[in-house]
Every structure is written in C-alpha cells, then in structure tokens.
Structure 1
Amino acid sequence: MKNKTNNKPLKGILVLEFCQYLAGPSAGLRLADLGARVIKIENPGKGDLCRILPIKDQWVKNNSLLFHTINRNKESYTANLKSVEELDNIRKLIEEADVIIHNFRPGVMKKLGLDFDQAKECNPELVYAEISGYGKVGPWGKKPGQDLLVQAMSGLMYASGDRDDAPTPFGLAIGDILCGAQVVQAILAALVYKNRKKKAIKIEVSLLESLIDFQFEIFTTYFASGKLPKRSLVNNAHALLGAPYGIYKTKDGYIALAMIPLQDLKEIIQSDLLNEYDQSMVFSKRDEIKSILVDLIKENSSKFWIEKLLAKGLWATSLKNWKELKNSQSYEFLKLEQEIQISINQSFKTNRCPIRINGEIMWGSVPAPDLGADNEVIKKEFNLNPEHS
C-alpha cells in the first residue's frame, strides 16, 4: 500500500542532486521519501559512479543493487557540466529549484560556475547544501571523503572491539549515512528559514565532522578528564561504560547485557566469585568482573539467562542475526520492507523509509532511474534548450 503523494510533507519541493556514492544520495533519498521531487544531475558518460559499485556482486539491470537502494524515487538528467551550453540548462533548473545538494570536492563547483554565490544569483532563495570529506579549510580539505578512510582519521575505530584488538572499523558506511542524515536535518531547517526570510542559505557538512559528532560522549569525557578512553579488555561494547555492559557467549548463543546494577546481577547468578565486588567497582574492576561473568554465563543457555533477567525487569536480550530478526513477529508487524518493481519480470525488496507521519508510512517504491531517463521530460517541462544535454 502506497501513500497518496498529497500526504507527504515535502510535496512541491524540487531538489537537484549533484552527488554520487552514498552520503549525498542517501540525503536525496530521504527527501524523496518525504515527498520532494529529486532530480539527479549526472555525467552523460557514466553517471553516478555508484551505478558500477556493487555490493556482494549483485546487479539490477545494468546498475548495482547498491545504486538502487539509495536512488529510488528519483529522476535522472544528464548534462556535461563543462559545456557552456549545457550549463545554461542547469542554471534554468536552479532557477526553479528549492534545494541543491552536491558532494564534489571543495572548489569543483566554483570552477564549474555553480558554487553558492553563483547559484544564488540564479535563485536568491536557494537552499544550497554541500558535503565534503573533511571540510573546506585546512590541510585535509582536498582529501577524498571515502567512508573507511574518514573512519580511520576520526578515532572511531578505537571504540569497537576489545582493548588488545586492532582498530576495528564500523561494519557499515556509518560516516556516509550519518552525514546524509545530518544534511537532511539541515535542509529541513533551512527550508523553514527560507520560508520566513526569503533568503538563500548555505549548508556545509563533512563526513569527519559527522563522525566526531557521533562520538560526542567520548570527546566530552576526554575534554573533561584529559585521558583517552580505553576499551575494556573483555567483551567491550562501549568504552565509557562499566561492567557488565557487553556481549556474552552462552551455552548455545549470545546475550547482551546493558546497564544492570551489579547487585541485581549477583542475585541472579548466585556465585561467590562476585562477592568481593560492588557497584562502586564497575569501572575500576571492569575487566575482572567481566572476566568472571564470561566464565559463569557460558555455563547455561541464552533462554535460561534471559528468562531470569527479564523476570527482574533488567535490560538484557538474546542476539539475533539478520535472518532471525526478519523472521520475528515484531519485524513483520512493523512492515519494514517494500517491493521495488523494475519491470514486469524483475523486482527486488528493500527497506522502507523508517518515518511515519500522522500514522502513515512514507512508502517510496519507484525504481531508481536509468541514466538520463528523464532528460526529454525535464527539458520540455522546464523549457530547456533541446539541442543540449
């Protein structure tokens, strides 16, 4: 079941997306989910390079499955941005647009004649959002903004894994996705500002700043103490939290223990090995307590421990892999999947937008566009020069 377009709050907002790979397109996706019209401006040769960046070597038509996951509900317009004539058409689109998003390296849009100052001459009420890897200033300004590389520069890899483990990257492109979400937040705020002030507004977000913001707890405690946080030696799950916080192996699986008072845990586990420890020691003796828990918890099943913990209202759960999650009743109840119909004979499933508005799910099942698929329609609608683009 799809929402009626009229129910979506960004209906009537036109977004031009000069983006590729993940951060910018993920922002465009969310705006499209919320009802905006998103036109991808792509190179007429290869387009968004994410089209040829596969995940697990999976393809849909001639594009990667990855491209389809974050470019549904968009249109594709191709233009050679180095062509003066084709840039004239782009400027006509900018005149009609509400929002521009781009993730070119710093300086590229200025060389093309499409930076903020130049774009707002076309449209004095434009919301202009730019994404970079490390910001525009300083010695890192021209570095490529690739997620793994930014994770490596951000300190984040010292938050996961145990203390003696090598630096551990987050298992997904967390910088890209967080940055894209923050760009959307800024754009929504800017649209409110634009509506009030009738002025153009410029947004700047970088992957590095997004990942540093993501670690605000770690940075704040470092500023206060002057000491770097240390991952626990055993079952680390959060470098700033004391025992028992972590993942524990049971006889037949794993359980997660969150913030549980040590006295409550001692009453459940009933072991003399824990008698000498109290709540005041959950940080100073964190690794000792966790090491004892490791040996005790593995003696019984996940179900055994979870039943005891939940009976006391304590924060714990057994772990699920993706298959187990998908087969759970709650997952089915939330209606988290949608079907994307590529053709009569081809479709694939993906996640829906996680937002509900007035109880309505923001479905968005229009497939990602072929490269340049919407050129003719867009040229006619916006009265662009038909001989170019």
Structure 2
Amino acid sequence: MSRKDQISKPLEGFLVLEFCQYLSGPSAGLRLADLGVRVIKIENPGKGDLCRILPIKDQWVEENSLLFHTINRNKESYTANLKSEEELAEIKKLISKADVMIHNFRPGVMEKLSLGFEQVKNINSKIIYAEISGYGKEGPWAKKPGQDLLLQAMSGLMFNSGDRDDAPTPFGLAIGDILCGAQVVQAILAGLISRNRKGEAVKVEISLLESLIDFQFEIFTTYFVSGKRPLRSAVNNAHPLLGAPYGIYETSDGFIAVAMVPLQELKKALNCPRLEAYDQSMVFSKRDEIKSVLVDFLKEESTGFWMEKLQSRKLWATDLKNWKQLKQTKGYKEFELEQEIDIPGSKSIKTNRCPIRINGEKLWGAWPAPNLGQHTASVKKEFELNDKPV
C-alpha cells in the first residue's frame, strides 16, 4: 500500500450501505468513501448497478463501463436478491450494523421490500436513512423517471445557457445527479452529528428537481421578486442576470472570458472608441449593444494582446483553455488532481482524486471499482450474516 493510501481520513469507522444505481446515489457514496467511510454497494445478482453497462464515449474497462469505474472506486460489492426471504434477512442483519443507508429506488419500492425508513428504524434505531428521488415521493410527478436530462428540462435550467434566440441549452454534464449527490452527503453528515447528540435515527430525503431548483436560487429569487423570467443575453450570454461585459469573446486566435468589470475600467484597458458612447448606468439596459461592440473589437487582436492589457489593470478576465491546454499548465500540475487506479487483469485507468484536503493532506483512493458481488462472501463471513437473522 502506498503512502497516499495510508493518510488518516476523518470518517474512518463508519459503514454505509449503498442501494443505488447510476449517478446520484453512487456519487454520494464515492465522496463518503473518499472521506474514509466503508461503502458496501448492495447490488442485484446478475445485473448489478445498471451503470455497469452505461458507457461514456463507448469506453469500457473489462466488462464494466468506464463511467462505473469513475464513481464506484473505493467501494465493495455485495449481491443480494431482495425478493428472497433468506437473502433479505441477511441484508437486514447487515443494516443492523450500519451507520448509513442510501437508496435511489423509485418511490414505494423499498417499502414493498420491507426496507422503508420506519421498517429499517425498527432494525437499527440509530440509522441515517437517505433516499433520493426524481420528483419526491408524492404528488403528480412522483412516478416520472428521474433522469438528469429530463430533470434539466423540467427545472428551467436550460434557459440559462446559450443565447436568447437559441433553443433551450442543456448543461453538458449530469449536473442534477452530481449536485444531488453532494447535497445528500451534506445531509448525511448533519444526520450523523444529530444522531451523536440525540441518539436517534434520521431520515434524509432529497429529489433531483429540488436540487436543480436550489442550484438556480439566483434565477428563481429574481423571478419571484420581478415576476418575469430573466432573459438570456442575445449576445455571448454567460449569465442571464449579469450586465455587460460579462461573457465569452473570440479573439484573433482564441477566446477570452470577461467577468464583472466596471465599464470605465474596461474602456481604459482596451482603448475602444465605440465604447465611449456607453457608461456604467447602461450595462443592463444596453447590455447587448455593449457586448456587440466588444464582439467586433476583440477579434482584431490576439488573446495574449488583450490579456496583457486587461491583467495590467488587474481586471477579471482570463483566456479559455481546453483540457489539453489546462493539463499543461503549472497551476494544474501543482494541484496533483490525477490518480492511477490499477484494475486487476487490465490496464490501469487515470481519474480524478477527491478535491478535498484534510489538515493539508490530499485525499487519495486507489481501490478500483468492485466486480459484481466481489465481496459478498467476505462480508457475510465478517458480519456473520449466515447466523440467525434479525
């Protein structure tokens, strides 16, 4: 074991059972595992987490998708048929020894399996029980499929990216799943603190829709106050609530991003005659006009030329980098964000490390994602699950 694997982690000693598929629940389990939690995935024998067969860019590692490996490292896999009385009894015994249980099954599924919160609380009176849904457990949308793109469409998120006349533009990542997973981790940690104080079980509930609406708190608050949907800028939109010059601009050889910059300072830096017709009071009312002036003007010189002028006045601007360019920078290398995961019987894969540092130490986790049912026998033996059930 390398030195990186020997770093003491703050949540060592806690046990989490992850009854989850795809991204939201497993991303929460990944972060908890990064922080030292022991995470056991409870999977259906034969199929397992369906993320195992959900590829990204048709990339596979042995029989599992690269995506599965990306968010399931540092976990164990235990297979159980939850419709089998015997195997369900073993799972219940495992639950009695756990600190946290996470699931993202459709509403009502766990209750039918006698694994709903009230049922589980009778097994383990101090369990932190976290459930993730697409649209909550009740109401007209409860049974709708909780898939990320569909949630982006339902939440209004697609009207923030792109320009005003563009079609609704989705976020280019599974943002609902990842945000929801992060918020579940926050709630679980709060639940553990509460349990330590009160000695009682805690139920955590979150839906992807609520998570994505919370993500847009600026937009929704503005809408609540004004009664009008904030419109995207027609020119180089980067945030529908911010005035000129906020946006991305093409140069003669690349692109630059310009953030919140006072117009008077921008005039001094760029020496653009056409900007003289505008002042700070117009950055919202004349937003698209001002940005159109910049679109034409900034194409005349290189990225380096403009960055020198902007940075000389310490204005908030930067050049755009693709992933290859980013990896070549000294700043990126300084972070040490990459780690190798060795896959038995296959080549190693490179992925990101946990972004959190504890007491100055980076958190590494080089265990590969488990094969389906890889740890079933060892977990049964360790927790004596074949003995008299709970």
Tell me the TM-score normalized by structure 1: 0.98
CA distance in 1, matches of 2:13, 2:144: 36
Aligned to 1:296: 297
Write out per-residue CA displacement over residues 161-191 of structure 1, whole angstroms, 9 at most, x where no aligned residue. 0000000000000000000000000001111
Aligned to 1:124: 125
What does residue range 228-247 of structure 1 map to in structure 2 within 5 Å?
A: 228-247=229-248
Per the alignment, do residues 5 and 367 of structure 1 end up closer, same or farther by CA in structure 2, a change over 3 Å counting? same
Write out per-residue CA displacement over residues 76-115 of structure 1, whole angstroms, 9 at most, x where no aligned residue. 0000011111110000000000000000010000000000
The answer to whether the 8 A contact 1:379-1:385 is kept is yes
Aligned to 1:170: 171
The yes-or-no answer on 1:380 pairing with 2:388 is no
CA distance in 2, matches of 1:161, 1:2: 45
Aligned to 2:57: 56
The answer to whether the 8 A contact 2:61-2:346 is kept is no
Per the alignment, do residues 241 and 339 of structure 1 end up closer, same or farther by CA in structure 2, a change over 3 Å counting? same
Per the alignment, do residues 21 and 387 of structure 1 end up closer, same or farther by CA in structure 2, a change over 3 Å counting? farther
Aligned to 1:11: 12
The answer to whether the 8 A contact 1:15-1:39 is kept is yes
CA deviation after TM superposition for structure 1 residue 272, in Å: 2.4
Write out per-residue CA displacement over residues 303-351 of structure 1, whole angstroms, 9 at most, x where no aligned residue. 0000110110100000000111111111111000000001265201000
Q: Secondary structure at the match of 1:96?
A: coil
Per the alignment, do residues 37 and 279 of structure 1 end up closer, same or farther by CA in structure 2, a change over 3 Å counting? same
The answer to whether the 8 A contact 2:104-2:131 is kept is yes
Write out per-residue CA displacement over residues 338-366 of structure 1, whole angstroms, 9 at most, x where no aligned residue. 00001265201000000000011110010
Per the alignment, do residues 65 and 383 of structure 1 end up closer, same or farther by CA in structure 2, a change over 3 Å counting? same
Aligned to 1:33: 34
The answer to whether the 8 A contact 1:2-1:363 is kept is no
Query: For structure 2, which runs of at least 5 residues remain unmatched after alignment?
Result: none
CA distance in 2, matches of 1:344, 1:77: 21
Aligned to 1:339: 340
Write out per-residue CA displacement over residues 275-316 of structure 1, whole angstroms, 9 at most, x where no aligned residue. 121000000000000000100001000000001101101000
The answer to whether the 8 A contact 2:223-2:230 is kept is yes
What does residue range 105-120 of structure 1 map to in structure 2 within 5 Å?
A: 105-120=106-121
Tell me the amino acid that sits aligned with residue 162 of structure 2. G
Aligned to 2:352: 351
The answer to whether the 8 A contact 2:62-2:346 is kept is no
The answer to whether the 8 A contact 1:39-1:74 is kept is yes
Tell me the amino acid that sits aligned with residue 91 of structure 1. K
The answer to whether the 8 A contact 2:18-2:41 is kept is yes
Aligned to 2:308: 307
CA distance in 2, matches of 1:6, 1:189: 24
Give aligned-pair identity as a percent: 72
The answer to whether the 8 A contact 1:127-1:203 is kept is yes
Aligned to 1:65: 66
The yes-or-no answer on 1:42 pairing with 2:43 is yes
Write out per-residue CA displacement over residues 236-274 of structure 1, whole angstroms, 9 at most, x where no aligned residue. 000000000000000000000000000011112222211
What does residue range 201-212 of structure 1 map to in structure 2 within 5 Å?
A: 201-212=202-213
Q: Secondary structure at the match of 1:8?
A: coil
CA distance in 2, matches of 1:2, 1:105: 41
Aligned alpha-carbon RMSD (Å): 1.3
Aligned to 1:147: 148
Per the alignment, do residues 5 and 190 of structure 1 end up closer, same or farther by CA in structure 2, a change over 3 Å counting? farther
CA distance in 2, matches of 1:274, 1:38: 57
Aligned to 2:85: 84
The answer to whether the 8 A contact 2:353-2:365 is kept is yes
Q: Secondary structure at the match of 2:96?
A: helix
CA distance in 2, matches of 1:190, 1:7: 22
Write out per-residue CA displacement over residues 24-75 of structure 1, whole angstroms, 9 at most, x where no aligned residue. 0000000000000000000001000000000111111110000000000000
Tell me the amino acid that sits aligned with residue 134 of structure 2. G
Aligned to 1:248: 249
Q: Secondary structure at the match of 1:129?
A: strand
Aligned to 2:102: 101
The answer to whether the 8 A contact 2:245-2:261 is kept is yes
Query: For structure 1, which runs of at least 5 residues remain unmatched after alignment?
Result: none
CA distance in 2, matches of 1:137, 1:345: 45
CA deviation after TM superposition for structure 1 residue 137, in Å: 1.6
CA deviation after TM superposition for structure 1 residue 134, in Å: 0.8
Tell me the TM-score normalized by structure 2: 0.98
Write out per-residue CA displacement over residues 117-168 of structure 1, whole angstroms, 9 at most, x where no aligned residue. 0001000000000000011121011111100000000000000000000000
Tell me the amino acid that sits aligned with residue 330 of structure 2. Q
Tell me the amino acid that sits aligned with residue 8 of structure 1. K
Tell me the amino acid that sits aligned with residue 79 of structure 1. A
Per the alignment, do residues 250 and 50 of structure 1 end up closer, same or farther by CA in structure 2, a change over 3 Å counting? same
The answer to whether the 8 A contact 1:5-1:11 is kept is no
The yes-or-no answer on 1:179 pairing with 2:164 is no
Q: Secondary structure at the match of 2:380?
A: helix
Per the alignment, do residues 86 and 344 of structure 1 end up closer, same or farther by CA in structure 2, a change over 3 Å counting? closer
Tell me the amino acid that sits aligned with residue 46 of structure 1. K
The answer to whether the 8 A contact 2:341-2:349 is kept is yes
CA distance in 2, matches of 1:326, 1:92: 47
Aligned pairs, number: 388
Tell me the amino acid that sits aligned with residue 53 of structure 2. I
Where has structure 1 moved over 3 Å in runs of 4 or more?
1-6
Tell me the amino acid that sits aligned with residue 262 of structure 1. L
Q: Secondary structure at the match of 2:277?
A: coil
Tell me the amino acid that sits aligned with residue 226 of structure 2. S
CA deviation after TM superposition for structure 1 residue 384, in Å: 1.1
Aligned to 1:275: 276
